[in-house]
Amino acid sequence: MSDTIALISTGEELLTGETIDTNSAWLAAEVWDRGFYVSRMLTCGDALEDLVWAFKEATQASDKVICTGGLGPTVDDRTAIALAEWAGVPCEESAEALAQITERYARRGRAVSEANRKQAWLPQGAVVLENRWGSAPGFALTHAGSTVVCLPGVPLEMRKIFATAVAPMWTASAPTVVHKVRSFGVAESRLQAILGELDLGDAELGFRAHIPEVQVKLRFDGASQPKHREAVVERVKNALGDSVYSVDGGDLAETVVQRLMSRDETVALAESCTAGLVSGWLGDVSGVSAVLLESVVTYANEAKVRLGVPEKDIIDNGAVSESVARAMASAVRERAQSTWGVSITGIAGPSGGTPTKPVGTVHIAVCGPSGEAHQVAVIPGSRKQVRMRAAGGALALLLRQLS
């Protein structure tokens, strides 16, 4: 069991569908990258008996357990109480946890309430894991040969504490090296079909589909030779061709920003159906101000005309058309005096489609020093999925021009 980890997610909102359990998915990917396997993934509500049951089940499956959620100040936050009951120890106020909570609130100019003081009551013998990003400290308790780590349910806080305090606690008996080949535009099933026929040596193959991309994960034994790993990665890249945009690098937005910065070039965006999704994505990248000059949302036809799209193009071909996409990219580039102009216009759905332009039809254009490039696709999925995939398509098309 030494190389397995069991995961528990708590909260009634997970059982009712109000909240999606992204914590378990993220943790599973992280521990897999570190050479561990997930033996159980349990979800339970806030009832004390359910939480105690989850701890019993998880510790029977693994000697390492990570639980997220239930560390808040309200009466339905019972993770600490349940863990204490599982271990047969009392809860007591931790001076260390209380000091951390008090310091957090003091920085905000606030005093600690009795409700927040509850977050300092931990199982006897628990080790406090500092939470510098929120109010509820994490903690770890070892009992009967198993170590249970309890982290806040807030994703940002959970991820930060995992990276700073939990990951250094455990090392797999057979350390691994993971290379991530990031791809766009090819479905996970198709990637599996392509790579299933490929000689991957001793690499263990895994996938992570996260719209709009799919990551191909190649996990090698830590003792494998770098030359062997490089050869396998190169084999995968060659098999997947232009769909690969990064190896062990950032996502599409990060890759675009880095590529533009390295070339000392800039970009401007004109978005219709994505309504600023691309610029918002780029805006998440540190240093983007050096490359992103301007972004406009030209949803209405009148806005497209004001940008510089000939009205005749819209009348003759419709707002969702190659000519309009090309005109948008050219006009925004000229307006911003940027190196590149990128545009998107499409029908995100679920209504608005026609027999000749069904829902999901998206036109993307890039205008730059080397001329113009255009791509059209009918993207499947919900409105949100169409918009996200279109945003990814715009960045991927720009990357191809930058290459």
Q: What is the pLDDT of residue 374?
A: 98
Q: What is the pLDDT of residue 116?
A: 87
Q: What is the pLDDT of residue 111?
A: 87
What is the maximum span of the chain, computed from C-alpha positions, in angstroms?
77
Give the helix/strand (H/E) hosting 184: strand 176-184
Q: Are 213 and 181 in contact (CB under 8 A)?
A: no
Q: What is the pLDDT of residue 1?
A: 54
Phi first, then psi, for residue 306 (nearest 5°) are: -65, -30
Q: What is the pLDDT of residue 55?
A: 98
Sequence-ordered strand ranges (E) for 56-175: 64-68, 91-93, 121-123, 127-129, 138-143, 146-151
Q: Are 36 and 5 in contact (CB under 8 A)?
A: yes
* Residue 54 C-beta-side C-alpha neighbours within 13 Å: 29
Q: What is the pLDDT of residue 115?
A: 85
C-alpha span between 294 and 104 (Å, rounded): 38
Neighbours of 57 (CB within 10 A): 15
Q: What is the pLDDT of residue 387?
A: 97
Global pTM? Answer: 0.82
C-alpha span between 77 and 120 (Å, rounded): 12
| Cα separation of the two ends of the chain | 46
Q: Are 362 and 386 in contact (CB under 8 A)?
A: yes
Full set of structural domains in the chain with CATH: 4-169 (3.40.980.10), 176-247 (3.30.70.2860), 252-402 (3.90.950.20)
Neighbour-count burial of 175, counting CB atoms closer than 10 A to its CB (0-12 exposed, 13-18 middle, 19+ buried): exposed
Q: What is the pLDDT along the chain (403 residues), one digit of tens a residue?
A: 579 999 999 999 999 999 999 999 999 999 998 989 999 999 999 999 999 999 999 999 999 999 999 999 999 999 999 999 999 999 999 999 999 999 988 888 888 888 889 999 999 999 999 999 998 999 999 999 999 999 999 999 999 999 999 999 999 888 889 999 999 999 999 999 999 989 999 999 999 888 999 999 999 988 899 999 999 999 999 999 999 999 999 999 999 999 999 999 999 999 999 999 999 999 999 999 999 999 999 999 999 999 999 999 999 999 999 999 999 999 999 999 999 999 999 999 999 999 999 999 999 999 999 899 999 999 999 999 999 999 999 999 999 999 8
Query: In Å, how far from its chain's centre is CA 111?
Result: 35
Placement of tokens 């006009």 in the chain: 331
